[in-house]
Amino acid sequence: MAGEGCAVSICGRTAADLDATLKGLRALDVPAHGVVTDVRDEDALIAFVEQSASELGKVDLLVANAGGRFVNGTAAEWSETFALNVGHMAVSVRACVPYMREAGGGAVVVIASISGWKPAPRPQYGAAKAAEIYLAMELGRELAPTAFASTR
């Protein structure tokens, strides 16, 4: 996106990786904003979206691209896997939609996995990715007809 001249706002888990990515984005001479954020923290994720809109002036595209699983498969780890994969997507979409409406339109891209529709090892990860795919399709049905209609 930055290669096409788009302003980019990103969040990441570690300052070192975030700083390196921001340096690369800024080398492309585009506005770039970034914040270390745990996407499982709803308040922090909403604050990131609000900061992004403030820094860059608008939000017209969301790429929901977090994923992973916790290894042992305990009930708590299943919850963490869903929070990381599905939770971040639901929260970030909800936080971005008002800004997209204000901008007159927008788009959401969800990076899921083949594991979401083709059973494989790592069942908790596959189940979380299947939920992401389902949620993306359902949000498309819910939001497409009215969510981004011009408010003018």
Q: Nearest-CA neighbor of 43 among 32, 35, 54?
A: 35
Q: Which CATH architecture has domain 37-143?
A: 3-Layer(aba) Sandwich (3.40)
CA angle at 78 for the pair 76 and 79, rounded to the nearest 5°? 65
Predicted structure pTM score: 0.84
**30 and 42 Cβ atoms separated by less than 8 Å:** no
Distance of CA 45 to the CA centre of its chain: 9
Residue-wise pLDDT for 43-87, tens only, equals: 999 999 999 999 999 999 999 998 887 777 788 888 999 999 999
Residue 130 clears pLDDT 50, i.e. is over it: yes
Spell out the domain ranges in the chain.
37-143
Distance CA 68, CA 78 (A): 11
Q: How confident is residue 34, by pLDDT bands cut at 50, 70 and 90? A: very high
CB 37, CB 61: distance < 8 Å: no
